[in-house]
Amino acid sequence: MSYRIRMGPREVLFVYLSFLRYNYHLILRRFCMDKKLKDENLKIAIQKDGRLTNESIKTLRSMGIEFEIYNRKLFAISRDFPIEILFCRDDDIPGYVESGVADIGIVGQNIIQESKSKVTEIIKPGFGHCNLSIAVPKESKVSTAEELRGKRIATSFPSTAQQYFSRLNIPVDIITISGSVEITPALGVSDAIVDIVASGSTLTLNDLRQIDIITETEAVLIRGSKKLSSSKENLLLQMIARLEAVLAAKNMKYVMMNAPKDSLGKIKQIAPGLNAPTVTELTKPDWIAIHAVMNENAFWSIADELKTLGACDILVLPIEKVVV
C-alpha cells in the first residue's frame, strides 16, 4: 500500500527551510569547495589547535577578514575578502607554504627552523613571543648546558636541539617526543628537556627550571618561493597593508583634552606625538581642545604633568587601525 502526501505552499516552504537548517554545514562546505576549485582565492594556513590559534584568528579579524569557524572544520572562507583559511597542524604549515598548497601562513619561527622549509618571512604580526629553552628538574644540580654532556634530552624539536648541542660540542642523547615533553624527567625518560617556554608556568607546574635559552621565537607571516598570480600578489599586498595598519595602532591611543590656551606650547614640549595636534577653540574664553595620537605608555608617563599645566577632561580612546 502506498500513500501520496499533498503539500501546499506553506508545507513546501517548511520542508525547504528545515532542509537548510539541518544541512547548512554541508551547503557551506560545498560552496567553499566550489570557490576553492576556482583557485582565485588567496590561501592562508594557520594553526588548528595550539598557542597561536586564537591570536591568528583575532589578527585576521582585526584586519577586516570575517569568517565562521565550526568544530572539526579544516578550512573557512571569508565573507568579505577573497581568502581561504586552512586550519592545519603547526608543523605542517611551512611545508604547505613551501609546496604551494597554501600561499601564505602564520607560524612560529621555531617551527620554520625545525622544518628547514624554504619559506620567506614577510612580517611579524606581533604575538606568540616565547623561548625555546633547556629545562631540568628543580632538584637537579645541573645549571649549564655543558653539564648535560652525555645526558638524555627529550624534545619535540630534535633537529634544533641537536644543532644547538653540536655547535657547543656537547654530546647528548636526543629523545624525540610528540606531546607532553615536560613530564619526561619525572617518568625517568630524560634528564632534561628542550621545549617552548612562554610564561614559565608549565615548567613550574612540572617542577622544572630553565637553565638556558636556545632561541627566541615569535609568530611570523610567511610565503613560499613559488610565484603567485598577479591577482593573488595584489591580494597579499592588501593583506600586508591591513596588517601594518593594525600593528601601527597597537599601544596607540587617541587622546583628547581641554586646556588653557596659553599652556599649549608647554604641553607640546612634554607630550610626544603632540608636535602637530588638532586644536580647536572652545566656547569658554581662552580655552582650547587638543586632540592627538600618542603611545599609551608615553601618555601615562606625563599624565600628571598635563594636569599640572591645566589640562582637564582628558579622554583616552582606543585606535583600531592607523593607515600611514
Average pLDDT over residues 184-196: 95
Grid cell, residue 294, equals 600618542
The pLDDT of residue 6 is 54
Which of left, alpha, beta for 181 (phi over 0: left; psi -120 to 50: alpha)? alpha
Grid cell, residue 74, equals 579544516
Give me the helices (H) in 123-276, please.
158-167, 201-205, 230-249, 264-270
φ, ψ at 61 (rounded to 5°): -70, -35
pLDDT bin (cut points 50, 70, 90) of residue 5 is: very low
Query: How confident is the model over 284-303, as pLDDT tens digits?
Result: 999 999 998 888 888 999 99
Question: Which residue is listed with cell 610565484?
Answer: 227
The whole-angstrom separation of Cα 296 and Cα 323 is 18
pLDDT bin (cut points 50, 70, 90) of residue 138 is: very high
Grid cell, residue 129, equals 613571543
Beta strands at 83-88 and 42-47: parallel, antiparallel or unpaired: parallel
pTM of the predicted structure, to 2 decimals: 0.79
Q: Are 243 and 59 in contact (CB under 8 A)?
A: yes
Give the closest residue to 143 by CA, choosing from 151, 152, 134: 134
pLDDT bin (cut points 50, 70, 90) of residue 135 is: very high
Number of alpha helices (DSSP H) and beta strands (DSSP E) in the chain: 9, 15
The whole-angstrom separation of Cα 309 and Cα 175 is 64
Instruction: State the sign of the Cα–Cα–Cα–Cα dihedral 154, 156, 162, 168.
Output: negative
Average pLDDT over residues 184-199: 94
Domains, the chain, ordered by start:
39-128+219-248 (3.40.190.10), 133-217 (3.40.190.10), 251-318 (3.30.70.120)
Query: How confident is the model over 41-64, as pLDDT tens digits?
Result: 999 999 998 899 999 999 999 999
The whole-angstrom separation of Cα 287 and Cα 219 is 47
DSSP state of 268: H
Query: How confident is the model over 224-274, as pLDDT tens digits?
Result: 998 999 999 999 999 999 999 999 888 899 999 999 999 999 998 888 665
The whole-angstrom separation of Cα 195 and Cα 157 is 7
The pLDDT of residue 322 is 83
**Is the pLDDT higher at 5 or at 203?**
203
φ, ψ at 216 (rounded to 5°): -90, 145
- Provide the terminal-to-terminal Cα distance of the chain, rounded to the nearest Å: 75
Residue 66, number of CB atoms within 10 A of its CB:
12
The whole-angstrom separation of Cα 189 and Cα 137 is 12
**Is the pLDDT higher at 74 or at 184?**
184
DSSP secondary structure letters along 153-180: EEES-HHHHHHHHHHTT---EEEE-SS-
Give the closest residue to 306 by CA, choosing from 290, 319, 317: 290
**Angle at which helices 230-249 and 53-62 cross, to 10°:** 100
The whole-angstrom separation of Cα 134 and Cα 131 is 9
Q: Are 259 and 315 in contact (CB under 8 A)?
A: no
The pLDDT of residue 2 is 40
The pLDDT of residue 32 is 47
